Amino acid sequence: MSNCYINGIASISAQPTTDPDTFLDEVIHHKESIFRSHDPNYKEFIKPAAMRRMSKSVKMGVTTATMALNNSGIEMPDAIITGTGMGCKQDSEKFLENILHNDEQFLTPTLFIQSTHNTVGGQVALGLGCKAYNVTYVQGAASFEVSIKDAQLMLSESPEKNILVGGIDEVAKNSTLLHKLDGQIKEDDIDVIKLLDSKTSGTVTSEGAIFMVLGAEKTDKTLAKIIDVETRSSATPNEIKTDIEKFVARQGLSIQDIDAVILGNNGDVEHDHYYKSLQSSIFSNTEQLCYKHLTGDYPVASSFGFWLGTRIFDTNKVPSVLKVNDISAKGYNTILLYNQYLGKNHSIALLQRC
């Protein structure tokens, strides 16, 4: 397996995360169970003619892709791989509602064209004129990680490549609300910053995009090394514990070598035990960090963990708002990420400082 370096990264989330000079210095306290991203001025990144048909996820995706490429110094990637759990929900929802409310009449093509899951990947390619490999993964909470796995495989096949990998998900007015009906989202609005202390089932949701430029060569822009990523469709908490131990051992490391662990706790009392059983066992002596009380949970929310990792390596500090136990590492060289959603689509990843 060849090396896999993060040589550029950009994030749009429900927090101000687009300014490279700050690191969660100020956080927004969201008060609703469904909240929107904190947006940059998209007009700085996208021409008006191109923007007129773009839904939120396309705007977020194209913008973070541009920013990540800029900060890696790469102009034209050799592959574009995107992950999304629910795709272009806003346009899918509008097209569906038009079908249902107008008895399948007077429908227009733009919404349909924009509704496919690979819209963001296609639009990024179109904007760059990039004719290379282009794939979109849609695997729930593991959508971002299976995208990285493909990139990692590609780097082992062709180490000279620079690969643009992104994760995007957006909130849509009505279909996101449906997740209140099926219990995925908490019924009542809450003070999101206190999400991790929640005593109820379900979580809170938002939207965001993260793009990274991955390469097998370390450059002067390198932010971190992705040692490995693993996904698993379903597992019990005990199986996950064993998986993590094996995963770490395979890299020639032990749990003691992990300086901090970034976990996907989302305040859902039905499923947070996947994290809690790790927090109270193998990671009881490790610095533990969480972020979904800032970003909300959505299928590619776990990509935020990768962004956090690169920012922690860069600044060598951890904003206290992320910390959920009293242990502080002496320094940050090795960070492990673990995430799951409703007991499905588990992902484990290991990042290392370069």
Footprint on this chain of another protein (rule: CB under 8 A): 48-49, 52-53, 80, 85-87, 92, 95-97, 99-100, 103-110, 112-113, 115-119, 121-123, 125-126, 128-140, 142-143, 146, 150, 153, 156-157, 175, 178-179, 181-182, 184, 231-235, 299, 344-345
Q: Taking the complex as a whole, how short is the minimal distance between the CB of residue 181 and another protein, in angstroms?
A: 5
**Which residue, 124 or 212, has its beta carbon nearer to another protein?**
124
Q: How many CB atoms lie within 10 A of CB 41?
A: 9
Q: Where are the beta strands (DSSP E) in the chain?
A: 5-12, 79-83, 133-137, 162-169, 208-215, 224-234, 260-263, 287-290, 334-341, 344-352
- Cβ proximity of 6 and 222 under 8 Å: yes
**Cβ 306 to another protein shortest distance, Å:** 18
CB 76, min distance to another protein, A: 11
- Residue among 89 and 353 whose Cβ is closer to another protein: 89
- Closest approach, Cβ 154 to another protein, in A, equals 8
Closest approach, Cβ 97 to another protein, in A, equals 8
Write phi, then psi, for 200 (nearest 5 degrees). Answer: -115, 170
Nearer residue to another protein within complex by CB, 66 or 136: 136
Contacts for 172-178: CB closer than 8 Å, 24+ residues apart: 172/89, 172/90, 172/92, 172/93, 173/90, 173/93, 174/93, 174/97, 175/86, 175/89, 175/92, 175/93, 176/34, 176/89, 176/205, 177/34
Strand partners, 208: 169
CA distance 113 to 92: 9
- Is 3 or 325 the residue whose CB approaches another protein more closely? 3
State the Cα–Cα distance between residues 223 and 315, nearest whole angstrom.
11
Cα–Cα distance, 104 to 113 (Å, whole number): 16
Our CB check for another protein shows the closer of 154 and 289 to be 154
Using the minimum distance from each CB to another protein, give the nearer residue, 124 or 294: 124
State which residue, 96 or 193, has the beta carbon closest to another protein.
96
* In the complex, minimum distance from the CB of residue 318 to another protein, in angstroms, rounded to a whole number: 32
Q: Output the smallest distance, CB 212 to another protein, in A.
A: 18
